């Protein structure tokens, strides 16, 4: 990619900034960046600058796996101002997690969300006809209530996803069972509290985080280069227009309420 072609003489430290709600649309451009950083001989280490409250379970796992592959090849440190739920899941791939004292971290847990407007539909006399093949095919529809059986099935899936999350944190942070249970309550902690809980390694600002990875890689802090996806000019211009912003917001809202989901939020 363009930033790797410019640097042919000396090694660099890649700074990858990731922020916002984690979704596949958000993650996909970064997967190429992470892979390039993993394979490039010029990149001696990577500092993840993370600020995320979490998001999609699947997107979070995909991001984590990409970061984990990178961490197996070269030093990966994370500095964060917000690493909650899926954000912390992703950060846990790093060898070291750093943050300022008041940064929000943790929220280790999962949540299942399913809007139900069946009561409102009944009041206004609106009905939806459903034709299905498969006994449970309509379980997730937002205009039908959830049966007891449906709730039980989703509880099983919820538990499976939760236990997977806890296993990752337990393994990556070298926590015993008691320590893992203590942090896996869905509770938010400050980074200062995270030190005592084993979720954070060091309290510092971004400058010091750069110095830390610089010492590890033996690359000067001045050689920290930001690596992020390039957005096509036309795409950037379109997204700045009011109409595009309104339509995007409407589209996202409709998508969010039309299907259930399990989230790291």
d(CA 60, CA 111): 14
Question: In 189-226, which positions are buried (b, 16+ CB within 10 angstroms) versus exposed (e)?
Answer: bbbebbbebbbbbebbebeebbebbbebbebeeebbee
d(CA 165, CA 60): 10
β-strand partners of 111: 263
d(CA 48, CA 41): 18
**Residue 158 burial (C-beta neighbours within 10 Å; 0-12, 13-18, 19+):** middle
Is position 137 annotated as part of the catalytic site?
A: yes
d(CA 130, CA 127): 10
Q: In the block, which residue shows the tokens 């993993």?
A: 38
SS3 70: helix
Is position 215 annotated as part of the catalytic site?
A: no
Catalytic-role residue among 40, 56, 85, 107: 85
Catalytic-role residue among 25, 39, 73, 137: 137
Tell me the catalytic residues.
Answer: 85, 137
């Amino acid at each position: 990619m363009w930033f790797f072609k410019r640097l042919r003489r000396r090694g660099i430290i890649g700074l990858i900034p990731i922020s916002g709600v984690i979704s596949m649309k958000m993650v996909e451009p970064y997967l190429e960046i992470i892979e390039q950083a993993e394979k490039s001989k010029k990149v001696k280490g990577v500092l993840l600058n993370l600020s995320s409250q979490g998001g999609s379970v699947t997107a979070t796992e995909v991001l984590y796996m990409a970061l984990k592959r990178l961490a197996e090849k070269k030093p990966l440190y994370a500095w964060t101002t917000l690493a909650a739920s899926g954000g912390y899941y992703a950060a846990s791939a790093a060898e070291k997690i750093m943050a300022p004292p008041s940064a929000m971290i943790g929220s280790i847990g999962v949540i299942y969300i399913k809007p139900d407007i069946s009561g409102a539909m009944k009041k206004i006399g609106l009905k939806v006809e459903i034709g299905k093949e498969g006994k449970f095919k309509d379980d997730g529809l937002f205009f039908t209530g959830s049966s007891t059986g449906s709730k039980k099935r989703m509880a099983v899936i919820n538990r499976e996803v939760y236990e997977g999350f806890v296993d990752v944190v337990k393994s990556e942070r070298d926590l015993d069972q008691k320590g893992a249970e203590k942090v896996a309550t869905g509770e938010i902690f400050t980074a200062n509290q995270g030190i005592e809980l084993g979720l954070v390694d060091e309290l510092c600002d971004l400058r010091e985080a750069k110095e830390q990875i610089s010492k590890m890689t033996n690359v000067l802090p001045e050689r920290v280069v930001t690596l992020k996806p390039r957005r096509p000019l036309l795409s950037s211009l379109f997204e700045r227009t009011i109409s595009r912003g309104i339509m995007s917001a409407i589209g996202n809202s409709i998508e969010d309420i039309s299907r259930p989901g399990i989230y790291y939020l």
